[in-house]
Amino acid sequence: MEKLVIEGGQKLRGEISVSGSKNATLPVLAATLLTDKPCVIHNVPRLRDTLTMIKLLRSLGKSAVLEGDKVIVSKPTTSYVADYKLVSTMRGSFCVFGPLLAKFRQASVSLPGGCVIGIRPVDLHIKGVMGLGAKIHVESGYVHAKANKLKGTYIYLGGTFGSSVLATANVMMAATLASGVTIIDSAACEPEVVDLGNFLNAMGAEVMGHGTPQITVRGVKSLHGAEYKIGPDRIEAGTYVLMAAATKSDITIKNLNPTHIMALLHHVQEAGVSYKQKGHTVKITSRKNLKPVSLTTYPYPGFPTDLQAQFMALMATTPGVSVITEKVFPDRFIHIAELNRMGAKIRREGYSAIIEGVKSLYGAPVMASDLRASAALVIAGLAAKGRTEIHRIYHLERGYENMDEKLRGLGAKVWKEKE
């Protein structure tokens, strides 16, 4: 096991490139289960999560080979049982549920695991496929689904805390091989859903409205192979924006879609950070005397919950009081305790965190509790005085490709050490 060591207080300068989207890659790879024909997926980030999904595809009969940033998937899908050992390590792997059900008219998928950021039930996934005609029972830690026939219908997918990206993905994939037309209302609008819809259409599906709250899927008899390029990771891009802001640095971020992070760019601009956008490049300029900003997380196009922890790290070093309210995963505040170990003054009140910005954070040994919390600790470590050691960085490696190398390219003093 390794830890990440950061010598803080360094200005960042130069250019950094964003990798392919992890949260788009996982359902796109899962969608290859819908066909026995070869598929080639480009711009795949080499991450723990994508490697886990590749292992899961292999366990289901597929040949899946990672060559550089390309995954070649071939051979028929032969099993409808997604094993606990793989699914329990990564929540995103539950997106094999929909395509397995569509392919075999039955599926047995372990209840998922992943980051410890609060209860994340699969009730919307179950509701969606039941609407298509599947019968469900949960037993021994597995969700079992079976259907003689999947039939298109109207499905409302709104949940207590808004729409669900993975539930939307599962129902979209299951509906591609159902008879008739499926309308998914209160669907997730995230760019990752757009990527999936585009890939399904490249396979011969008839998906319309992806990226809007209402998606229409006209079922087809079969899908063929396809070649597709994954879009850039908006959460990685946003994390680098916040790193520049927290370290009062000027950096250029390449290979991103600025429209995907407009909520973030609006809020950092409100704090006093300036940016210039040109095509798929954004230049961030951060100076002293930033202002506190309060925000609330919402499903896309609102401020993303996956950048909440990182924005909190920025506000922790911004004098004044800010309030961050979490409306997507209300228990996603485990990082508060670790940021406070570094000198931050943050307290939780219900669904909100109250941040009293301090002049400086100080390096300390800290523990990563989940993927985005680990990124917040990296931001805090870069901005802090002294040495920070982040333990359990396997969380970070689930979602950020070669972050230490990319940061060294910007002049940061960061490296890995054996525990």
Comparing 140 with 325, the larger pLDDT belongs to 325
Q: Which pLDDT belongs to residue 113?
A: 56
- Give, as one character, the DSSP assignment of residue 25: H
Whether 162 shows a pLDDT value over 90: the answer reads: no
Fold match flag (2-19+232-418 vs 22-229)? yes
| Residue 274 · residue 268 · CB < 8 Å | no
- 17-51 pLDDT, tens digit per residue, is 999 999 999 999 999 999 999 999 999 999 999 99
Q: Which residues are within 8 A (CB) of 140 and not within 5 positions of it... i.e. 6 or more apart?
A: none
CA dihedral 48, 50, 52, 57 (to 10 degrees): -170
Instruction: Name which of 105-119, 163-177, 260-274 the model is least confident about.
Output: 105-119
95 catalytic residue (yes or no)? no
- 97-116 pLDDT, tens digit per residue, is 999 999 999 999 998 754 44
Average pLDDT over residues 80-107: 92
Q: In what order do the strands lie in the sheet with 320-325?
A: 295-296, 320-325, 352-357, 345-349
Average pLDDT over residues 315-338: 95
Residue 275 and residue 273: Cα distance in Å, rounded? Answer: 7
Domain boundaries, the chain: 2-19+232-418, 22-229
Q: Which residues are within 8 A (CB) of 350 and not within 5 positions of it... i.e. 6 or more apart?
A: none
Q: In what order do the strands lie in the sheet with 142-146?
A: 81-82, 106-110, 142-146, 135-139
Q: Quick one: what percent of the chain has pLDDT higher than 70?
A: 98
Q: Which pLDDT belongs to residue 235?
A: 98
Q: Which pLDDT belongs to residue 367?
A: 96
Reference 381, options 313, 319, 322, 333; nearest CA is: 313
Q: Which pLDDT belongs to residue 363?
A: 98
Q: How confident is the model at residue 331 (pLDDT cuts 50, 70, 90)?
A: confident
Q: Which pLDDT belongs to residue 23?
A: 96
pTM given for the model: 0.96
- 115-145 pLDDT, tens digit per residue, is 444 445 788 999 999 999 999 999 988 999 9
User: Which of 39, 95, 115, 189 is flagged as catalytic?
Assistant: 115
Q: Which pLDDT belongs to residue 120?
A: 54
Fold of 22-229: UDP-n-acetylglucosamine1-carboxyvinyl-transferase; Chain (3.65.10)
- 292-311 pLDDT, tens digit per residue, is 999 999 999 999 999 999 99
* Start-to-end C-alpha separation, the chain: 6
Residue 37 and residue 346: Cα distance in Å, rounded? Answer: 52
Average pLDDT over residues 321-346: 96
Q: Which pLDDT belongs to residue 160?
A: 82
Reference 329, options 215, 147, 161; nearest CA is: 161
Residue 360 and residue 343: Cα distance in Å, rounded? Answer: 8
- 361-406 pLDDT, tens digit per residue, is 999 999 999 999 999 999 999 999 999 999 999 999 999 999 999 9
Reference 145, options 94, 181, 98, 83; nearest CA is: 98
The CATH code of domain 2-19+232-418 reads: 3.65.10.10
Helix (H) or strand (E) holding 329: none
